[in-house]
Structure 1
Amino acid sequence: MGYDSIGQLTQAITPLDEVAMAAARAHVDRLTKPPGSLGKLEGLAVKLAGITGEVQPAFRKRSVIVMAADHGVCEEGVSAFPAEVTPQMVHNFLAGGAAVNVLARQASADVVCVDIGVNAELSHPSLVQRKLRYGTGNMAIGPAMSREEAEAAIRVGAQVVDDAVSQGVRLFVTGEMGIGNTTASAAIMSSLTGVVPQQSVGRGTGVNDERLRHKIAVVERALEANRPNADDPLDVLAKVGGLEIAGLTGVILGAAAQRCPVVIDGFISTVAALLAVRMKPESAGFLIASHVSHEQGHRALLQELGLNPMLELDMRLGEGTGGVLALHLIDAACRIVAEMATFESAGVADGGHGGDNGEIAR
């Protein structure tokens, strides 16, 4: 499809299909169970109908889009790992050896790794090469990237989705790799929500108390140096964001434009989701929150987006790992709708609940 601008991309996003949602809700209420007794799975089934326009959707092909990029703010010593780990982990993804690869194989999902800004020369037949620059600038002293680069990265994400949709993919999971990206994500969160860095900055790769205090101070310096405009999400993204965060913002907007569900992973993915929703509020309807991570700030971000996560596993790895685990629950919701008997088909008395009960979990 291709998008010449963010405006063209956001214009392609339309609200959820209310007719399909009502039909799905009515069908779920006729299944052989008390109304609402399958909890979040029922609300998920209705939401998937609204996204796809199908009462009984199925997602045979699904992809985890792992956006990879480096961060200039690593010069400030904000991570427990050196920046060299980013390209090393990209090779691990491509070899199938990372946690997300293992969990994706279990969930029958493909892992698509995109180099959108790794600070190294990478070459591999399976790597999607979309490098816009060799990592961002150090946001503690100036803008991470230009506004044009941020917009280009969003368009890259949307194009990756379009390419996958043309291959039959109808469900996406957001993943990322970039040493330093929890620092950039915390700065974006503080910019967009007004939450102070003491509440948005977490331990990321597992930094100690001293380095956590330093990380908070670096985010404060970045916000002071750049003064991002909270009313302009692209300005925030360019000044204190990351190329992979921008790419994921494009994945989310692109999935919404293609009427595909997009399962968001942890803190970094949810920051990208907040950016997408600030750019196009209707994109919120296409988001499925997989889990709440151990990273400080993630729960507050989900609440900001009005999203209720399905899992709480104390995970904080990223890569799309929590998102992939949620695919099993999405499959469960789809199978319930497609395979479970109705009161009529099973010859079971419905206890007077009938097909008019619309008060199940939304």
Structure 2
Amino acid sequence: MDYEKRYDEIYETIRRGWDSIAKPLESLGRLETLVAKLGAAQNKEHPAVEKTALLVLCADNGIVEEGVSQSAQAVTRVCAENIAAGKTTAGIMASQTDTEVIVVDMGIACSESIPGVLSRKIRQGTRNFAKGPAMTQAEVEQAVQTGISLVEECRKRGVDVICIGEMGIGNTTTSAAVAASLLKCPAKTVVGRGAGLSEAGLARKREVVQNAIDSYGLYEASTIDVLRSVGGFDIAGMVGVYEGARRYGVPVILDGAISLVAALVAERMNPGVMRYLLPSHKSREPLSALVCDALGIEPVLDADMALGEGTGALLMLGVLKTAVAVYEKSLRFSESGVAQYKRHGV
């Protein structure tokens, strides 16, 4: 099905539907436009939020060899298993909205299978981009296709909305490198502390990112070459998930910094993808605000969060479920005995 043909028509239908509710016009602000966007992305005049899933894409990053993280690479595997077992913050949040958690091994640096984790492993971690490109072209394409396929599988199982999350030691470094390259800004502008680097660690992280940008000439490189050179399997997989959202009409709620960078990549590669992606929160990572500005989006939530794993997306899902309920169940002016508000000049 071509989910783009009726997008604008459905968006306007839902927007007018909000005007018919017995309340001041646009008094729920951006929640009204997000519900309209949700329905348009689903090709449904009555948006659905009953069956939801959290996709957590996990992968290791070779750049950790350069001392850009305070955590060892082995932590990725442990966290992936804990997320799958529902023991982490993301799992607890997911249970509050009856959201299925699907943890995916895109490239964790281990050879054994991980209990509860779906294996789509491309390689045991990317290469150290301080020494050479993080991925080959074939690996990038495989990661993107994997993301598309994950959405296709969700669609076949009747999932209405996907929350996106990630886990991978070193991925604030890869995402900062991609963001700085695409935004053509100095590394120091977008590189943050990640999971809690010291001043010396932060300086090292900035140096590693800037050196890679200069070495590969990434300010002038194509989007796909930026992703291949300094990205990660999680980021590339999310790019695929976003393309899958458009292809299969399953909207995705974005999370924090890493998911936002993947959205920037996806939109640069395939303009229009953002119509199927819903913002959630403004991450503490410095690149978050810059990428949101570049994408022209304004997150609804700002709780100074920087956890990842889909936690911000899950919080937004709860808000979105409430907004959809209000849209569907509220008293209409035609039932209220109150004259409907009019849009002046429309």
Output the TM-score relative to the length of structure 2. 0.96
Q: Which amino acid aligns with 2:214?
A: E
Rounded to whole Å, the distance in 2 between the matches of 1:289 and 1:76 is 32
Q: Superposed, which structure 2 residues align to 1:1-362 within 5 Å?
A: 14=4, 17-124=7-114, 126-228=116-218, 230=220, 232-350=222-340, 353-354=341-342
Q: Which has the higher contact order (CA 8 A, sep 6+)?
A: 1
| CA contact 2:41–2:251 (8 Å) conserved in 1 | yes
Structure 1 vs Structure 2 CA RMSD: 1.7
Rounded to whole Å, the distance in 1 between the matches of 2:9 and 2:345 is 13
What secondary structure is seen at the aligned counterpart in 2 of 1:111?
A: strand
Q: Deviations over 1:289-335 (max 9, x none)?
A: 10001111101111110111010011101000000000011112211
Rounded to whole Å, the distance in 2 between the matches of 1:89 and 1:258 is 30
Q: Which amino acid aligns with 1:43?
A: T
Shift of 1:348: 2.1
Inter-CA distance 122–339: structure 2 relative to 1 (3 Å threshold)? farther
Inter-CA distance 294–212: structure 2 relative to 1 (3 Å threshold)? same
| CA contact 2:194–2:285 (8 Å) conserved in 1 | yes
Q: Deviations over 1:276-296 (max 9, x none)?
A: 101111101111110001111
Rounded to whole Å, the distance in 2 between the matches of 1:290 and 1:200 is 20
Inter-CA distance 217–13: structure 2 relative to 1 (3 Å threshold)? farther
Inter-CA distance 203–358: structure 2 relative to 1 (3 Å threshold)? farther
| CA contact 2:3–2:43 (8 Å) conserved in 1 | no
Inter-CA distance 332–79: structure 2 relative to 1 (3 Å threshold)? same
What secondary structure is seen at the aligned counterpart in 2 of 1:34?
A: coil
Inter-CA distance 264–258: structure 2 relative to 1 (3 Å threshold)? same
Q: Deviations over 1:243-298 (max 9, x none)?
A: 11111111111112112211110000001101110111110111111000111110
What secondary structure is seen at the aligned counterpart in 2 of 1:281?
A: coil
5+ residue gaps, structure 2: none
Seq. identity, %? 38
| CA contact 1:13–1:282 (8 Å) conserved in 2 | no
Output the TM-score relative to the length of structure 1. 0.92
Q: How many residues are treated as equivalent by the alignment?
A: 346
Q: Which amino acid aligns with 1:263?
A: I
| CA contact 1:174–1:265 (8 Å) conserved in 2 | yes
